[in-house]
Amino acid sequence: MSSKTTSAAAASASPPATDWTGSELLLKALVDQGVEVIFGYPGGAVLPIYDALFQQNSLRHILVRQEGGAVHAAEGYARSTGKVGVVLVTSGPGATNAVTGLTDALMDSVPVVCLTGQVPTHLIGNDAFQEADTTGITRPCTKHNYLVKDITKLSRTVHEAFHVARSGRPGPVVVDLPKDILVGRSTVYEGPEAGMRKTYAPRLEPDADRIEQALEMMARAKRPLFYCGGGVINSGPKAVELLTQLVRATGFPCTLTLMGLGAFPASDPLFLGMVGMHGTWESNHAMHDCDLMINVGARFDDRVTGKIAAFSPGSKKIHIDIDPSSINKNVRVDLPIVGDAGKALAGLLSGWKSRKAKGDAGHAKDLAAWWDQIEKWRARDCLRYEKTDKVIKPQYAIQRLYELTKGRDCYITTEVGQHQMWAAQFYKFDKPNHWMTSGGLGTMGYGLPAAMGVQVAHPDALVVDIAGEASILMNIQELSTICQYRLPVKAFILNNQYMGMVRQWQELLHGGRYSESYMDSLPDFVKLAESFHCVGLRATKVSEVDDVIKEMLKVKQPVVVDVAVDQTENCFPMIPSGAAHNEMLLGPADKKKPGGAISEDGMVLV
Amino acid sequence: MTAVERHTISVIVDNEPGILARVVGLFSGRGYNIESLTVAETDSREHRSRITLVTSGTPMIIEQIKAQLERLVPVHKVSDLTEGGAHVERELALIKVRGTGEKRVESLRIADIFRARAIDSTIDSFVFEMTGSTDKIDAFVKLMEPLGLIEVARTGVAAISRGSQAL
């Protein structure tokens, strides 16, 4: 037989070149979506995917220690890059462990695609081993979810999932994959260009008339204020740049939400600091007293508004948001503008410039008076705290961390609680995507895995998880992942041996009865770090703070720093629950005001 | 406090697994009311269903409900028939009444006035079928109570706008 005939025979006998297993189709779709990293944990239902992963080199897999860590890592990856974070977990407990992270991503509008294994289609509904109704469980905590029942629709579904996750207001999307689909074979593969269904088309382009109305309101305002949030960051670096230009062109003051930090440079004098429950005195008073509020990509969260009935009573409100359901949800606004923040800001900026050229852009005299008032508020120096040599103040530790890391490409994540608020108050962000914190859901245990995801995306950057000792223990197992992949993450623990924010509320609201907020028998974090092959450092004296930070920065390995801070320190300023912006407490002395700090109405709020 | 309004909302959705759970879950999860809900496929070629919801809330809540519904990926269109102006609403009800003698005769007489049809009859019972507005059915059911009402099945509201325009 000649060689020619052999090859011809082989060609006719071989199956079509395009015959893939479901797992191969899945990975192909991920590669075509530009995915580079997956955070995951294997299990029975996803073994075929792991087998396919083993046989390729395009996708990197980071093996976490618990599925919850995988989702937070994907969130950190997504928020620090603007890309979609990808998670792969098994059925049943794999999926249920992912639920907290998915809810977190939904609340904070983080693009995540979570691939979950599922028992084979014929066993669904039979209470099979490791079966959970994943689409049922995740329906309220995802932007959308899918159960793939037909292998020919697998690739299209994955592409649609990515599109839904990243477009409009971003969010988490679950794709549930029964095992028979993963091992089945199909010739059908559709690329990312496969059309998205007609029902989903977020509005991006703002209404031009409304932009014009907004400009008119801005030109007439005497006490204007920009109130901006994470939506600006989600819109992309261009939107952040446009916001900065617009604020500077107008000379209006600007405040940011917790999620928005970095959307406007903290070092700019036009920045008033963070707004809300633990925001600055000047931000909250400006919110209360302004006559025009320009909300870009923020959602009037209850942590920002305080008592709704007393929220900024004298202002007209413009609300720019990509999600129509965010508008008029908590606060009725005068001018809603649905669309992408970047596009709206571009319209406002060019409109403002042409008005300025015509001399029709604002009342300089009124604006100067408004700034005089703001400077008086600012002079209160609301973030001041007692400086002492006796005990390490948590604020001091963060201030030193900021001073010793500024100028470097530094990404900060946090857990949830007092340390988170102090980080937001004392660490200054001049760039977007460098601040990763759990805002909406308030998920303790977010910071360490999130830092891991950030470090995977930025291997050479400095990534610090500003943590509390209680929060970090919720996902401490991820130190093992951090070690395995040689990720030089720094965990900077402000250790007060209390769930600090719980303790603070118990002090202010519950007569100082510290019910279950003190943790006895905490681990020795230095030894704990060492057992996870990390470097452990400790500071117990004020004089040691700089040294441990410098040492932490010098070490090229993962580091856990245990900073023993003042156990009784509280986070101020604070708008007590149920109070208005101009009723904020500045410090410990304020709580002794007549009538007490917290009203009865406020007691029921969280 | 702003007054609570009652709205009838039509939602056109892709007829896919879980869509009803999505809509119902949205209402329960966010604490909205559902007074009535009907759903059936109305376009078999495109696999689209029409959900008709009757809900109540302040104007701000109603606005939220519509925005939240529109945000669901499989939703094509949300239309507030109450806000949109003239529309017709109909419900179908099956009403079982047990009784003899004068009460039985009276129930039949009232059914006639309401243009309800007896679609099942035994020596001591009727099943009436009637279509009409929710109010009309409510009124009929109330009248049947002293006459031996024992069971009611209602479909919930189906609604459509008046005039030549389609949704």
A179 is a catalytic site residue: yes
Cα distances (angstroms) measured from residue A212 to each of A45, A126, A215, A441 = 55, 59, 5, 36
A11 vs A286 pLDDT, higher one: A286
Q: How far is residue A246's CA from residue A453's CA, in Å, rounded to a whole number? A: 32
pLDDT, position A604:
75
Contact A8, A169 (CB under 8 A): no
Interface check A203 vs B, CB under 8 A: no
What's the half-sphere exposure (Cβ side, CA atoms, 13 Å) at A120? 7
Question: If you measure CA to CA, which chain B residue comes closest to A327?
Answer: B64
Q: How far is residue B115's CA from residue B110's CA, in Å, rounded to a whole number? A: 8
**Sign of the C-alpha dihedral computed for residues B69, B71, B74 and B76 taken in this order:** positive
A426 is a catalytic site residue: no
Contacts of A266 (CB under 8 A, 6+ apart): A273, A428, A429, A430
pLDDT, position A197:
84
Model confidence at A598, in pLDDT bands (50, 70, 90)? low
Mean pLDDT over residues B14-42, rounded? Answer: 96
A426 SS3 class: helix
Q: How far is residue A75's CA from residue A58's CA, in Å, rounded to a whole number? A: 21
* DSSP secondary structure string for all residues of A191-256: -TTSPPPTT-----SPPHHHHHHHHHHHHH-SSEEEEE-HHHHHH-HHHHHHHHHHHHHHT--EEE
Q: How far is residue A284's CA from residue A311's CA, in Å, rounded to a whole number? A: 10
B21: its two tokens:
């759970």
Q: Measured in whole angstroms, how far is the alpha carbon of residue A152 from the centre of its chain?
A: 35
Of the partner residues B63, B67, B74, the one whose CB lies closest to the CB of residue A199: B74
Q: pLDDT tens-digit profile of A464-497?
A: 999 999 999 999 999 999 999 999 999 999 999 9
How close A309 gets to chain B, by Cα (Å)? 12
Question: If you measure CA to CA, which chain B residue comes closest to A144?
Answer: B73
Model confidence at A600, in pLDDT bands (50, 70, 90)? low
pLDDT, position B46:
93
**Statement: residue A201 has pLDDT above 80:** yes
Mean pLDDT over residues A2-17, rounded? Answer: 48
* DSSP secondary structure string for all residues of A106-134: HHTT--EEEEEEE--GGGTTS--TT---H
Model confidence at A359, in pLDDT bands (50, 70, 90)? confident
A476: its two tokens:
């401490």
Degrees, nearest 5: CA angle A408-A412-A413:
165
Model confidence at A601, in pLDDT bands (50, 70, 90)? low
> Could you count the other beta carbons within 10 Å of the beta carbon of residue B15?
18
Q: How far is residue B21's CA from residue A485's CA, in Å, rounded to a whole number? A: 41
**Statement: residue B142 has pLDDT above 70:** yes
Model confidence at A8, in pLDDT bands (50, 70, 90)? very low
B158 CB-contact burial (10 Å; exposed 0-12 / middle 13-18 / buried 19+): buried
How close A199 gets to chain B, by Cα (Å)? 5
Beta carbons of A324 and B71 less than 8 Å apart: yes
The residues with which A177 forms a beta bridge, in sequence order, are: A117
Of the partner residues B13, B73, B76, the one whose CB lies closest to the CB of residue A164: B73
Beta carbons of A325 and B76 less than 8 Å apart: no
Question: If you measure CA to CA, which chain A residue comes closest to B25?
Answer: A140
Model confidence at A361, in pLDDT bands (50, 70, 90)? confident
pLDDT, position A577:
82
Residue type, A229: G
Beta carbons of A324 and B67 less than 8 Å apart: yes
Of the partner residues A135, A139, A199, the one whose CB lies closest to the CB of residue B76: A199
Interface check B23 vs A, CB under 8 A: no
B2 vs B115 pLDDT, higher one: B115
End-to-end CA distance of chain A: 83
Identify the active-site residue in A36, A130, A216, A591: A130
B74 vs A596 pLDDT, higher one: B74
Model confidence at A194, in pLDDT bands (50, 70, 90)? confident
**Statement: residue A588 has pLDDT above 90:** no
pLDDT, position A5:
43
Work out the mean pLDDT of chain B and round it to a whole number. 96
How close B17 gets to chain A, by Cα (Å)? 9
How close B53 gets to chain A, by Cα (Å)? 18
Interface check A199 vs B, CB under 8 A: yes
Cα distances (angstroms) measured from residue A445 to each of A51, A70, A397, A424 = 30, 12, 21, 17
B159: its two tokens:
């609604």
Contact A45, A179 (CB under 8 A): yes
Identify the active-site residue in A28, A83, A179, A343: A179
> Could you count the other beta carbons within 10 Å of the beta carbon of residue A51?
15
Mean pLDDT over residues A238-267, rounded? Answer: 98
**Statement: residue A6 has pLDDT above 60:** no
pLDDT, position A13:
55
**Statement: residue B76 has pLDDT above 50:** yes
**Sign of the C-alpha dihedral computed for residues A307, A310, A315 and A316 taken in this order:** positive
Model confidence at A122, in pLDDT bands (50, 70, 90)? very high
Beta carbons of B73 and A135 less than 8 Å apart: no
Q: pLDDT tens-digit profile of A224-246?
A: 999 999 999 999 999 999 999 99
**Statement: residue A3 has pLDDT above 60:** no
**Statement: residue A10 has pLDDT above 50:** no
**Statement: residue A594 has pLDDT above 70:** no
Query: How large is the ipTM?
Result: 0.92
**Statement: residue A595 has pLDDT above 70:** no
A67 is a catalytic site residue: yes
Q: Percent of chain A at pLDDT above 70?
A: 95
